[in-house]
Amino acid sequence: MSDVQEATHAVSGGYNIHIKSAGEGPAVVFIHGSGPGASGASNFRDNWPAFVDAGYRVILPDLIGYGASSKPEGIDYTLQLFTDSLHQALVAHGVSDAVLIGNSLGGGVALQMTLDHPGFARKLVLMAPGCIEEQADYFKMPGITKMVSNFGGPDFSIEEQRRLIGNLVHPDFSPRIADKLVEERFAVARTQPKDVLVRMRTPNLAPRLGEIDVPIFVMWGLNDEFCPESGARHFLDRCADARCMTFTRTGHWVQVERAAEFNAHALDFLRD
């Protein structure tokens, strides 16, 4: 496997976006979701090596407010901010077109980027994508309710970080959460301002899905408590070229809980 390279790109607003990359070939951008401690490399730690081995150039950005990217305070974290800052960084990184793979908030970013920049996305792979319901509806989901935490405060502990990650997956998977993943996310969470979550603002992009004409592959856990699995119907009803796959006894993290299956199905989709 090729070495991992790191770069930081300046974007509008005086912010910096951090990117890790590896491999050679067509670009595949993995866009992580939200939550305390999220980052590109940690969220897709069990996925990206398989894509490098399959002949792709893997791009692992940290969204603004996450990972090693800038974490401004006192601002609204809007979907447009996430999308614009990431797109600018990808262009600066030499990416002119790519397959976009996004989970949760990252799925919403992938959708917004596809709408804003026709021709940039070749295909979309979305795992429980966000931004296809009203934001208020997401906050009614049981997983969001259980995510309430004092992250970033003096009482935030690595045990609390493990609990937050456990909420993302099916109970059967919780004992298999890797210590390394908990440690990586805890290190990031301690540097994040609360604004990253409490001032997040996302629109409902479902009415615009019909504008997307690239092939879309949606994967969803049947037991997702964060983004309702019924959202898959939005893509089947509105998109010209969409396929959906649902996994039983799986929560919000298909790419983690079903890593081997996710890798195999996604790579088959990319080869079509």
Catalytic residues: 252
Indicate the residue type of 112.
Q
- In three-state secondary structure terms, 21 is strand
CA distance 206 to 262: 24
User: What dihedral angle (degrees, nearest 10) is formed by the CA atoms of 67, 71, 76, 82?
Assistant: -40
Structure tokens given for 24: 């050679």
Burial class of residue 182, CB neighbours in 10 A (0-12, 13-18, 19+): buried
Structure tokens given for 110: 């992938």
- Work out whether strand 27-31 and strand 57-61 pair parallel, antiparallel, or are unpaired: parallel
Indicate the residue type of 33.
G
Helices (H), the chain: 40-43, 48-53, 79-92, 105-116, 135-138, 142-146, 158-168, 179-189, 195-198, 232-238, 254-257, 259-271
Task: Give the rounded distance of the alpha carbon of 270 from its chain centre.
Answer: 18
Is the CB of residue 257 less than 8 Å from the CB of residue 224? no
CA distance 122 to 203: 23
Is the CB of residue 159 less than 8 Å from the CB of residue 150? no
